Chains A and B, each alone.
Chain A
Amino acid sequence: MFQYIIRRLMESVPTIIGASIVIFLAFSLAPGDVITANYTGGMNLTEERKAELRELYGLNKPLPERYGLWMGHVLQGDFGQSYLYNKPVTDVIKTFVWNSFLLSATVLVLQWMLALVIGVFSAVRQYSLFDSLVTVLVFVAMSLPSFFLGLLLLKLFAVDYRIFPLGGMTSTGVDYQGLQHILDVAYHMALPVLTLTLLSIGGTTRYFRMTMLEVVRQDYIRTARAKGLKERVVIFKHALRNALLPLITLFALELPGLFAGAIITERIFNWPGIGRVTLDGLYQRDYPLMMGFTLIIAFLTILANILADVLYGVADPRVRHR
């Protein structure tokens, strides 16, 4: 198993190099750079001043050299300096990524737990009223865009009925400590979590329903029933365990998303997460930040792929890694 993981990691080195080249080229070849972006007042600079600044940031060197310099620093753990925050990229990411993680992790747990319960029950009672109702609601929630659903919930619960705050992560003007702080953050999280959960739960529920429907038709489920086992045992032990297998990959591939932030939703609820920061970075052509962040997500995605394969081997005795 250990050898298998090492081998997979080695194999992913070319992938990550390829990904880094693509990421680098995408941002370097995009029109405009930090000098011409609005916030530096690039519009008012003379051509000489622009050239001087490009010289300063090393933007006038040939592309291969710039890539080599960037990668060299990345390998030493230095992703460069963010123009926007005037801090190292790693510091910027570190500051905001955990806020996003908190939000996404809560959503992930809620999403999968609810999807499991709803999916299993709608599969067990296929074509029942519950199943039809769930199917309709799931499609409604899935087809609403996040900006619409987010704004709708804001209007409803923060403007019309002032149950939840309009945005942010903590109440302004107070400095809560300990439990009070946790409760305050939870209170601010409610609406973004609700939005993201509603958006993501649909697909996952459908997956659970589909795999369960497939599994309950199998011969071994009939065998389990013929043994006189309780229906609860038949469904949750015999059927669900098999239905979960194909979902392991889906789950593992959602893990990098925990660090990617939710760009639109974080914007709407003014959540100080990495998603909002990357959007700002994009507007301001803060390419070192964008490149560093994208590369980290690419790396995490490769790790998640390996994790998915390892977990699959643990869960399914028919798959064993050598």
Chain B
Amino acid sequence: MATQLTERRKAEKRQTLVEFKDLQTIFETEAGTIRAVNGVSFQIREGETVCIVGESGSGKSVTALSLMRLISPPGKIVGGEIFFDGKDVLKLSEREMRHLRGNQVGMIFQEPMTSLNPVLTVGEQIMEPLMEHRLMTKSEARKQAIGLIEQVGIPRAAEIVDAYPHELSGGMRQRIMIAIALSCDPKLLIADEPTTALDVTIQAQILDLLRKLKEERNMALMLITHDLGVVAEMADYVIVMYGGRIVEEGYVLDIFRNPRHPYTEGLIKAKPVIGRRTERLYTIPGQVPNPINLPNHCYFADRCPYVMPACLERYPETTVDERGHKTACFRCAEGAER
């Protein structure tokens, strides 16, 4: 407990690197407006690992892509602010934005098989941001690219630099993606489900690599995942999203030891535990709500085992306890009042 507290104190001294303030990102479709991200606010401090957890369609990736301003039509950011290093990202010019992407913020994606350009060598693809942002010459960038390939743990870097993506395995491609994202020493790395498409053994290697590189470079990591195992292993701080909103956030140990929101509780219960055999794994009953026409009460109400009349009247406010653990649930609000 004592070590945990000192860790936390250390964390709180760190400068805020990214701050989302009431972010609203919507997708206008023919069927209606999808509020993919609906009033999301949180912070990422320098050197901190923040995991965003949630089911598919909960708005995790859209939150990350909003920071990169890579939301493509029909999606658009309609409200809120995102500060990166003190600058309001949503007000930057396209030119300034390009300087941010790939240079101060690196990003890796879920599908290593399709995220690399099939007709360019991996070396060329690592060299591009170096030449764009660091203004390196071709030969300098190539030397740097070989170094980066070594750093992400691929042997025979001098040969691999001239390989095409199809000649590499999924794990190697994801390593190349990491090399691209890290090429310009970003302050923040966004990893959008970086291990979902990989085998379990490769997953562990990639996570180890991310942790090692993050520590070496004192870089913040925004890790998007639906795998609580990954969260437990990597996170300093956890954000739980549901239906485009944050339902709970807190330090990783608080979330796992003392989940407040019934959804988080359900997620943790649904995680299989090694050595314990059960007839059936636990599942949260019901379905993710339709993102079009979300109800004006708590989105989780119809799946929640503790549902109360208030839950079906309005959306609960977010309450904060003395440890900084935030929850959007009436049960916690009552608890706080008591």
Binding site for B on A (CB under 8 A): 218-220, 222-231, 233, 238, 241-242, 245, 315-318
**Docked-complex contact B109 and A224, CB < 8 angstroms:** no
**Docked-complex contact A223 and B103, CB < 8 angstroms:** no
* Among all A-B residue pairs, the 3 with the closest Cβ atoms: A228-B102, A228-B101, A227-B102
**Docked-complex contact A219 and B102, CB < 8 angstroms:** no
- The listed residue (A224, A226, A228, A230) touching B117 by CB distance below 8 A is A224
A223-B180, A317-B164 are known contacts. Are A228 and B103 too (CB-CB below 8 A)?
A: yes
Contact partners of A317 in chain B: CB under 8 A: 118-119, 164, 166
**Docked-complex contact B166 and A226, CB < 8 angstroms:** no
- The listed residue (B70, B106, B118, B181) touching A220 by CB distance below 8 A is B118
Q: What does the 1/0 interface line of B103-131 toward A look like (CB < 8 Å)? A: 10011010100111111100000001100
Tell me the residues in window 41-98 of chain B with beta carbons closer than 8 Å to chain A beta carbons.
Answer: 68, 70, 94, 98
**Docked-complex contact B98 and A229, CB < 8 angstroms:** yes
B149 interface residue (CB < 8 Å to A): no
Closest to A319 in B: B166
A202 to B323, CA, bound (A): 66
Report the minimal beta-carbon distance from A208 to chain B, rounded to whole angstroms. 17
Contact partners of A229 in chain B: CB under 8 A: 98, 102, 128-129, 132
Contact partners of B98 in chain A: CB under 8 A: 228-230
A309 to B2, CA, bound (A): 68
B99 interface residue (CB < 8 Å to A): yes
A228-B98, A228-B102, A317-B164 are known contacts. Are A223 and B109 too (CB-CB below 8 A)?
A: yes
Closest to B113 in A: A219
**Docked-complex contact B164 and A223, CB < 8 angstroms:** no
We find that the number of chain B residues with CB closer than 8 angstroms to chain A is 29
**Docked-complex contact A238 and B117, CB < 8 angstroms:** yes
Known: A220-B118, A229-B132, A317-B119. 7 other contacts (CB 8 A): A223-B177, A225-B101, A226-B101, A228-B98, A228-B133, A229-B102, A241-B120
Closest to A226 in B: B107
**Docked-complex contact A219 and B180, CB < 8 angstroms:** no
Contact partners of B166 in chain A: CB under 8 A: 317-318
Report the minimal beta-carbon distance from B196 to chain A, rounded to whole angstroms. 13
A130 to B120, CA, bound (A): 31
Q: List 21 A-B contacts (CB under 8 A).
A: A219-B109, A219-B111, A220-B114, A220-B116, A223-B116, A223-B117, A223-B177, A225-B101, A226-B107, A226-B109, A227-B101, A228-B98, A228-B101, A228-B103, A230-B98, A231-B94, A233-B132, A238-B120, A241-B117, A317-B118, A318-B164
B100 interface residue (CB < 8 Å to A): yes
A228 to B107, CA, bound (A): 11
Contact partners of B116 in chain A: CB under 8 A: 220, 223
**Docked-complex contact A242 and B118, CB < 8 angstroms:** yes
**Docked-complex contact A226 and B68, CB < 8 angstroms:** yes
A242 to B164, CA, bound (A): 14
Q: What does the 1/0 interface line of B201-227 toward A look like (CB < 8 Å)? A: 000000000000000000000000000
A228-B132, A317-B166 are known contacts. Are A222 and B101 too (CB-CB below 8 A)?
A: no
- The listed residue (B99, B102, B118, B119) touching A226 by CB distance below 8 A is B102
**Docked-complex contact A219 and B115, CB < 8 angstroms:** yes
Contact partners of B106 in chain A: CB under 8 A: 226
**Docked-complex contact A220 and B128, CB < 8 angstroms:** no
Contact partners of A219 in chain B: CB under 8 A: 109, 111, 114-115
A219-B109, A227-B180, A229-B102 are known contacts. Are A316 and B119 too (CB-CB below 8 A)?
A: yes
**Docked-complex contact B180 and A242, CB < 8 angstroms:** no
Report the minimal beta-carbon distance from A239 to chain B, rounded to whole angstroms. 9
- The listed residue (A220, A228, A241, A242) touching B115 by CB distance below 8 A is A220
Report the minimal beta-carbon distance from A54 to chain B, rounded to whole angstroms. 60
Report the minimal beta-carbon distance from A306 to chain B, rounded to whole angstroms. 22
A285 to B194, CA, bound (A): 70
A231 to B181, CA, bound (A): 18
Report the minimal beta-carbon distance from B72 to chain A, rounded to whole angstroms. 8
A220 to B111, CA, bound (A): 10
**Docked-complex contact A228 and B99, CB < 8 angstroms:** yes
Q: What does the 1/0 interface line of B229-259 toward A look like (CB < 8 Å)? A: 0000000000000000000000000000000
- The listed residue (A224, A228, A233, A315) touching B119 by CB distance below 8 A is A315
**Docked-complex contact A222 and B118, CB < 8 angstroms:** no
**Docked-complex contact A228 and B100, CB < 8 angstroms:** yes
User: Which residue, of A224, A241, A315, has the highest number of chain B Cβ atoms within 10 A?
Assistant: A224
Contact partners of A242 in chain B: CB under 8 A: 117-119
Closest to A127 in B: B73
Q: What does the 1/0 interface line of B147-182 toward A look like (CB < 8 Å)? A: 000000000000000001010000000000100110
Contact partners of A224 in chain B: CB under 8 A: 117, 128
Report the minimal beta-carbon distance from B131 to chain A, rounded to whole angstroms. 10
A315 to B70, CA, bound (A): 29
A189 to B115, CA, bound (A): 47
Report the minimal beta-carbon distance from B141 to chain A, rounded to whole angstroms. 13
A231 to B117, CA, bound (A): 16
A222 to B119, CA, bound (A): 15
A238 to B120, CA, bound (A): 8
Contact partners of A238 in chain B: CB under 8 A: 117, 120
Contact partners of B128 in chain A: CB under 8 A: 224, 227, 229, 233
